[in-house]
């Protein structure tokens, strides 16, 4: 089914490329400048989007084996992801139930027990409190009620989603709107984590606007990789999640000088790898882009809003389909360094200047053109979720049975 869907999109790319067309949004769309710079609005977005919606918190490749864990902060919430001896991923608030400090410091590792660094209480990978230091002195408490607080979590398509509200009733699978079936075509559960970096950026939406935006590629990135790239894009949406492709008959492949000409191959020979080209975004803060450098790779960018409206943090994960051979490592390093440079120096520095101009009051609103339908849809979803009550969130997404059709 997923392959059929990928073929359907590839055919649309080819048809638009041959006709010299794209799908335009009905009209241009304006976003108020205040939506990017107002701190009250920023706090509301953190509360109603990031604290309520499922977030892709990790890739399976970050904690692939039983006993692996990842400790992270997500919008100020300390989160601990563990993979138990049953192979299942669990998510917890990373806060000791004695007096609250983190039981695991930020990062990835493997352990069967988490011993709190403050007084030494111990939790297992399932979050149960299994040891109270000086139990006989401590007094009467029931360890079975003092496990780490669990968070909703779902692992699918080699990616791990969590919700930062322990009482959330949102259905993560429903939120994915069938998009996970397409993402599963990558087979990320077997990919290799090559490298990870963190960058500081401007407002999270200023930063995120650039990811589904092909309009800027041949201009802003002309010195690095964009000189010969078209500025046209096609957007395919599943709920708030979008794939962006170039309406082209030639798709990038392992040989940079010889893109794959799908229009010159019989459809039966179209391989899934080629059909997955482009940028895959996951609402509200993830972009997955394919590259070849040290083998087939993707850069997964994960954005989080910062303390104020003017700050964000991006974690870049470089995943490779196979662990690179020693002679491939330099090429993989170079590719990842280039991607870091492009995002930091070209995209985010431009974003910081955009932010300064908006703060200076130069514009009441910014414009997304009819050719920027992906950006339009993203901002419409942001607004829709801000305006939706907790009890109605699930109804924004198709029931799982329909999404699978
Ligand atoms: Fe964790 Fe005291 S805060 S043992």
The enclosing domain of 225 has a CATH number of 3.90.380.10
Task: For ligand 1, atom 4, name the residue with the nearest CA.
Answer: 119
The torsion angles phi and psi of 129, rounded to 5 degrees, stand at -80, 115
Same domain membership, residue 159 and residue 181: no
Same domain membership, residue 205 and residue 77: no
Q: Which residues, other chains included, contact 4 with Cβ-Cβ below 8 Å and sequence gap of 6+?
A: none
> What is the SS3 assignment for 135?
helix
Tell me the two tokens of residue 275: 């059909």
Q: Which of 202, 158, 162 is nearest to 62 (CA)?
A: 158
* Contact indicator for 270, 263 with CB cutoff of 8 Å: no
The enclosing domain of 149 has a CATH number of 2.102.10.10
* Contact indicator for 245, 277 with CB cutoff of 8 Å: yes
Same domain membership, residue 258 and residue 398: yes
Same domain membership, residue 338 and residue 201: yes
CA pair distance 78, 75, nearest whole angstrom: 8
The residue range of the domain holding 59 is 55-169
CA atoms lying within 13 Å on the CB side of residue 106: 6
> What is the SS3 assignment for 283?
coil
**Does the CB atom of residue 119 touch ligand 1 within 6 A?**
yes
- Nearest-atom number in ligand 1 for the CA of 99 is 3
Task: For ligand 1, atom 2, name the residue with the nearest CA.
Answer: 119
Same domain membership, residue 225 and residue 84: no
How many domains does the chain divide into?
2
pTM, full prediction: 0.96
CA torsion angle for 19, 23, 26, 30 (degrees, to 10)? -120
Same domain membership, residue 42 and residue 26: yes
Same domain membership, residue 264 and residue 158: no
Same domain membership, residue 334 and residue 211: yes
Q: Best mutation site among 118, 122, 130 for ligand 1, i.e. most ligand atoms within 8 A of its Cβ?
A: 118
**Does the CB atom of residue 132 touch ligand 1 within 6 A?**
no
Any alpha helices (H) in 92-215, and if so which ranges?
A: 135-138, 172-176, 179-183, 204-209
pLDDT in tens, 150-193: 999 999 999 999 999 999 999 999 999 999 999 999 999 999 99
Q: Best mutation site among 98, 103, 114 for ligand 1, i.e. most ligand atoms within 8 A of its Cβ?
A: 98
The torsion angles phi and psi of 344, rounded to 5 degrees, stand at -75, -50
Strand partners, 289: 279, 299
pLDDT in tens, 191-246: 999 999 999 999 999 999 999 999 999 999 999 988 889 999 999 999 999 999 99
pLDDT in tens, 277-286: 999 999 999 9
pLDDT in tens, 128-143: 999 999 999 999 999 9
**Does the CB atom of residue 79 touch ligand 1 within 6 A?**
no
User: What beta strand segments (E) does 221-346 contain?
Assistant: 234-238, 241-245, 250-251, 260-261, 279-282, 286-292, 296-305, 312-320
Same domain membership, residue 131 and residue 232: no
CA of 65 to the centre of ligand 1 (A): 27
CA pair distance 111, 315, nearest whole angstrom: 24
94 — pLDDT class (breaks 50, 70, 90): very high
* Contact indicator for 276, 260 with CB cutoff of 8 Å: no
Last residue of a domain, one of 169, 187, 210: 169
**Does the CB atom of residue 102 touch ligand 1 within 6 A?**
no
The predicted pLDDT at position 336 comes to 92
């Amino acid at each position: 089914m997923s392959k059929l869907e990928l073929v359907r999109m590839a055919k649309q790319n080819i048809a638009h490329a041959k006709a010299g067309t794209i799908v335009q949004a009905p009209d241009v769309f304006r976003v108020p400048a205040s939506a990017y710079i107002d701190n009250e609005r920023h706090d509301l977005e953190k509360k109603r989007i990031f604290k309520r919606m499922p977030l892709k918190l990790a890739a399976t490749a970050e904690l692939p084996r039983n006993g692996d864990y990842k400790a992270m902060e997500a919008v100020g919430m300390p989160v601990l992801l563990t993979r138990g001896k049953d192979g299942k991923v669990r998510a917890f608030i990373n806060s000791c139930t004695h007096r609250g400090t983190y039981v695991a410091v930020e990062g990835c590792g493997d352990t069967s027990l988490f011993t709190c660094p403050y007084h030494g209480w111990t939790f297992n990978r399932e979050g149960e409190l299994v040891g109270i230091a000086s139990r006989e002195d401590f007094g009467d408490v029931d360890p079975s009620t003092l496990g780490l607080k669990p968070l909703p979590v779902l692992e699918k398509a080699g990616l791990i989603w969590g919700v930062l509200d322990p009482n959330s009733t949102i259905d993560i699978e429903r939120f994915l709107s069938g998009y996970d079936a397409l993402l599963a075509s990558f087979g990320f559960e077997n990919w290799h984590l090559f490298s990870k970096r963190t960058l500081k950026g401007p407002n999270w939406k200023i930063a995120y606007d650039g990811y589904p935006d092909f309009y800027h590629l041949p201009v802003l990135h002309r010195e690095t990789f964009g000189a010969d790239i078209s500025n046209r894009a096609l957007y395919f949406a599943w709920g708030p999640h979008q794939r962006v492709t170039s309406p082209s008959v030639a798709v990038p492949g392992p040989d940079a000088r010889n893109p794959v000409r799908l229009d010159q191959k019989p459809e039966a020979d179209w391989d899934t790898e080629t059909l997955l080209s482009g940028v895959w975004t996951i609402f509200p803060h993830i972009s997955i882009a394919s590259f070849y450098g040290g083998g087939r790779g993707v850069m997964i960018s994960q954005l989080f809003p910062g303390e104020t409206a003017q700050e964000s943090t991006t974690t870049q994960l470089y995943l490779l389909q196979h662990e690179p051979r020693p002679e491939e490592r330099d090429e993989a390093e170079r590719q990842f360094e280039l991607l870091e440079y492009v995002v930091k120096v070209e995209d985010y520095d431009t974003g910081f200047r955009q932010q300064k101009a908006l703060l200076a009051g130069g514009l009441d609103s910014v414009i997304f053109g009819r050719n920027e339908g992906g950006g339009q849809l993203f901002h419409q979803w942001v607004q829709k979720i801000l305006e939706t009550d907790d009890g109605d969130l699930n109804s924004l997404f198709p029931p799982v049975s329909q999404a699978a059709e």
